[in-house]
Structure 1
């Protein structure tokens, strides 16, 4: 695998990171994962907006724009002979003195790598289970897509290695939050429900795009604080993330759901597929 590391295209096993990088020492780093479809990095602008906002929060002096990132992605596609890919863009604070730093980090490390990913051949259904482990609260005002991933890792260990089931976090107060690697949605009639970001969830890029698509379908979107009983009363359930897209749910508890045959899931997936090779951001949706 050829990766991009601070201006160079090199083999992944040759990449070196200093033990004094504060991304390693103190978890001061952020990442974005997204897909490239036929050479097009879907919703790249939205991912970069979230990344740049997070960098400002962490005090990392860097800002990334489409015109800077696109040549890197094209170079990696060519170097790895790819057309469709999973991409991870990672920014860590960079080297600093040992100890907690209050000054801005002016020399961050940028690593970008990708791996092969085919185009979707059809929706794969999942089952949902509630996790015993509760969702931790964000380290700051909002949850960043940061290196602080222990809560998710412990949840995955609780769930096990299965790919057919997604675990759903509850908050300490018992409200529905999000999946281990996904955001949660359900429908009732012409209303689409999802937990509020005020529950401490990550405001996923695909989450935001799906809410935009819902408007095209004349669905009312409601964000709020909900208990698990809301899922048992729902008509359809699904989860989302930028790699798996819209993932229909076939079962929660003892209740079965339409899964990939659901009216809303099928409509959202159709619109998603129509736009994933052309949109740079959700606000350009026609």
Structure 2
């Protein structure tokens, strides 16, 4: 397997960074994960916009453009022989002295990983369970897609490695937050509900896409603070992320749900599938 490292395509065994990188020492780093569909990086512009915003917050002096990343991805995919792939674009702060740095990071390390994926197919259903572990609050004013992942890892340990189960975080105040690696939605009638960004969740790119797609279906979308019991009466529930796409929930805390037979999740999946090979940004 080949990896992109600071402008070069290298064998994975040759991909190394310094132990003095502040991404390693202090977690000063960000990443984006997205899918390549038949050679197309779906919603790349939105992923880069979020990444660039986070880099500014972390005082890392690097900004990405579509053309730069598109070129890097082409070389990486060609080297690996991938057409459909999982991509992780990782930016760490770079080498610094031991100790907390106030000055800007001027030489970050940029790594891009690719893993082969099958062509996108049918939706995979999951069960949703509420986690005992509470969602930690963001490190700053808003949650970044950062290297700080202990809360997620501990949550994953709580539910185990079963692939068809997603754990749902609650906030410390008891409101629905998000999944371990996903955002959550539920429908009641013509209204689609999802936790507000102000609960401390990550504003997922797929989350943003689904909100726009639902409005295009003339649905009302309500973002807010919701208790777990409010979801029991939902007509449909699903979770989203950029790799797993739209995942219908078949069971929520023992309550049976329609899963992939839900009419709205089917419509949203169709929109997602048609958009995945052409869109650079959310319309």
TM bracket, shorter-chain basis: over 0.9
Q: Distance in 1 between matches of 2:253 and 2:98?
A: 48
Q: Are positions 1:267 and 2:275 aligned together?
A: no
Q: Distance in 2 between matches of 1:15 and 1:278?
A: 32
Q: Deviations 1:24-83 (Å, cap 9, x if unpaired)? A: 000000000000000000000000000000000000000000011101000011000010
TM (norm. structure 1) is 0.98
Match of 1:134, SS? coil
Q: Distance in 1 between matches of 2:16 and 2:248?
A: 40
TM (norm. structure 2) is 0.99
Q: Distance in 2 between matches of 1:255 and 1:67?
A: 47
Correspondences of 1:112-127 after superposition (within 5 Å): 112-127=112-127
Tell me, which stretches of 5 or more residues in structure 2 are unaligned? Answer: none
Shift of 1:230: 1.2
Q: Distance in 2 between matches of 1:197 and 1:56?
A: 19
Correspondences of 1:1-286 after superposition (within 5 Å): 1-283=1-283
Match of 1:222, SS? strand
Match of 1:282, SS? coil
Q: Distance in 2 between matches of 1:45 and 1:257?
A: 34
Q: Distance in 2 between matches of 1:264 and 1:142?
A: 30
Tell me, which stretches of 5 or more residues in structure 1 are unaligned? Answer: none
Q: Distance in 2 between matches of 1:210 and 1:60?
A: 30
Q: Distance in 1 between matches of 2:87 and 2:255?
A: 36
Q: Distance in 2 between matches of 1:225 and 1:262?
A: 24
Match of 2:33, SS? strand
Shift of 1:156: 0.2
> How many residues are matched?
283
Where in structure 1 do 4 or more consecutive aligned residues deviate above 4 Å? none
Match of 1:20, SS? coil
Match of 1:281, SS? coil
Mean Cα deviation higher: 247-256 or 142-151: 247-256
Q: Distance in 2 between matches of 1:119 and 1:203?
A: 26
Match of 2:127, SS? strand
Shift of 1:99: 0.6
Shift of 1:254: 2.3
Q: Distance in 2 between matches of 1:80 and 1:121?
A: 22
